[in-house]
Amino acid sequence: LRFLVEFCLIVLPFVLLVTVLHRLALNIALTLFVLSAISAVHQIRNRLHLMPFVQVPGKSPQFLTCVRALVNLTTAVCILAVDFHCFPRELAKTETFGYGLMDIGVGLYVFSNGIVYKVRPAEERRLNTARVWKVLISTAPLLLLGFGRFFLTNELDYQLHVSEYGVHWNFFITLACVKFAGTLTMDLVHDPEVIKFVAITLLCCHEMMLHLGVSRYVLSADTQRTTFFAANREGIVSLPGYLALFLASIYIGWVVRPTEEITVAKKFLRRAGKVAIMAAVCWKMIYVCEDMFGISRRLANMGYCFWILAIGASVTALFMFFELFVYFVRFEEPKSPDQIMKTDDFCIPYVPLVLQAINANGLFFFLIANLLTGLVNLVFQTFLLGNGAALTIIGYYMFMLCVAVCFLYVNNVKLKIW
């Protein structure tokens, strides 16, 4: 029953918002946000005196579960919905410059991987041959998925947009390369505070190279795909941008993830505020970059990276504020100042079952979504179907995905391949 309620309140409304209700999506979102803000203020206005006592668990932050699950959920809905007529074209992927809802997919996957990256202690960070091999082995499953996808789509003669990543390149290979390079880069950085400067420097160098003629080479229709590099130029050239995005996301993750097991409310609020300020700066940079460079997912240029960071940081800050709100509202006033400190386990689970299940088996969820999307496209002429048939198929598709991951989650099965 809990699953059905959550599916109807979380998944189905999102399906409607990106399809038949897309023109009302902004109004609906703003209305819900204002009503939620008013309700939140009303509930905590008489509890602010509890600030010194309220604490938030530091282990396994639940707001990160929400962020990562939301990325997976959005991607799963859109990769199938885009094949139907009811999906608005302005939300589809852009060809060269610009932005649509589907452009955030690969970027937010990089962000969600970076934000949960565990920064190792300085004494453990040694870059040697053994370490390189270990990192390579850990990324091998993603590479195998990338190669498998290439051979499978070739064998089935499945429609592919070569201009997205290239002839042989794909999403999984990009993730593998970014994870490999990002992990090795982190082994060279001894102070986590330096990560942001490395990311900014790399992003500036990437943008400079694009302006020196690389972007023209990548985007030109006259460039022949005769060599491996030329055939996969979009995927290869965009790697420095995605690497910079990954490193910036690691820094944000380092800021929001406490080292202590218990965090006092004021400290947690400061962290959330810091992420919100980062988001505001990134939103401002989007306007600057759009005028100067444009925003291009294919190039993963500076504008695109700031756009993804703005979205990711905004959503993260929003869920952090919500988590703090939950602990404020559910907090019981202690009889003595040290009473709450004696509580060993005061975690308040508030994340819906569906989101917990998606986050627990995120890669499996994404793989099954890709397979079912391919199956639907092979069976139906999707673009010829009406709204009713399209929504029915998307609804069943999401139901099957959510049932699969929830079944694994309630049975404590976690399919982790790296």
Which tens digit of pLDDT belongs to each residue from 104-125?
A: 888 999 999 999 988 877 667 7
> Residue 337: its pLDDT value, please?
52
Q: Is the confidence at residue 187, as pLDDT, over 60?
A: yes
Residue-wise pLDDT for 287-320, tens only, equals 888 888 889 888 889 999 999 999 999 999 999 9
Q: In the numeric block, which tokens belong to residue 210?
A: 């694009």
What sign does the CA torsion over 223, 229, 232, 235 have?
negative
What was the pLDDT predicted at 338? 54
pLDDT at 215 over 70: yes
> pLDDT-based confidence at 335, cuts 50/70/90?
very low
Average of per-residue pLDDT values in the chain:
86
Q: What is the pLDDT of residue 344?
A: 46
**pLDDT, tens only, 125-149:** 777 788 888 888 888 888 898 888 8
pLDDT for 290: 86
CA distance 256 to 117: 12
The pTM score is 0.91
Specify the pLDDT at position 7: 92
Q: Which long-range contacts (CB under 8 A, 24 or more apart) does 17-22 make?
A: 18/77, 18/78, 18/81, 18/87, 18/88, 18/91, 18/101, 19/81, 19/84, 19/86, 19/87, 19/88, 19/387, 19/390, 19/391, 19/394, 20/86, 20/387, 20/391, 22/88, 22/91
Question: Tell me: the pLDDT tens digits for 20-70?
Answer: 888 888 899 899 989 998 988 888 877 777 777 778 887 778 899 999 999
